[in-house]
Chain A
């Protein structure tokens, strides 16, 4: 059973470009979460999605950031018009549906975004 897969591992974008980060959850997991980790800090929650639904986006910046988890394919975190302050490691986590395993989430290895 493959773990949570994120790609790319490293992404370099120039200011003003778009960044697309992909996350494939563990098999059987229908819940996906995105977190951002700035250098020397802990992870900060961004958004929680189920298939075709955004459940909680309370941690998402109001502009330029969006996330989706389509019926088919990976979850995508999209950052438009990137700025230097977007440079961070972005982690995806997945968990089973509620009632199966509680709140334990399994993390991917992250995507390190560098904006130059």
Chain B
């Protein structure tokens, strides 16, 4: 069975700082996808960034980037120049290629302070 672990229940940083959220996972599969989702107070689940396991290059989306360490089964999210609108729960998720279902971590509550 696949598991996803987020070891930081809560984090808080000042606006404009850089913050890194941790995620580790466990799987025996070799082909899979990793995701970071953002859940603001509205409860909407918003896809932030996605990484295919076969790609060595780390994914980047504007201020969001990942550090994907396949051997260590680690998938951290870095938010640069953090903004007040980044305040939300962040969930790391995993999906086996073709399985079409996501396994989520327990989430990290991120607060950006003015």
Q: Identify the A interface with B (CB < 8 A).
A: 31, 33, 35, 40-45, 48, 55-56, 59, 89, 91, 93, 95, 98, 102-107, 109-110, 112
Contact = CB atoms under 8 A, between A and B. Distances in A.
B103 interface: yes
A41 B45 contact: no
Sorted nearest first, the 9 A-B pairs with minimum C-beta distance are A42-B104, A107-B45, A45-B101, A43-B104, A103-B95, A42-B106, A110-B43, A109-B44, A42-B107
B104 A44 contact: yes
B11 interface: no
Nearest to A89: B43
Contact of A48 (B33, B91, B101, B107): B101
Give chain A's interface secondary structure class.
Answer: strand
B42 interface: yes
Nearest to B96: A103
A106 B47 CA distance: 8
Contacts of B46: 107
A91 B45 contact: yes
Interface in B62-105: 91, 95, 97-105
A108 to B, nearest CB: 8
A33 B100 contact: yes
A111 B53 CA distance: 32
Contacts of A109: 42-44
Contacts of A45: 101-103
13 contacts: A31-B100, A41-B106, A42-B106, A43-B102, A44-B104, A48-B100, A56-B100, A59-B101, A93-B45, A98-B98, A105-B102, A107-B46, A110-B44
A42 B50 CA distance: 18
Given A89-B43, A104-B47, A41 B102 contact: no
A59 B102 CA distance: 11
A42 B91 contact: yes
A41 B107 CA distance: 7
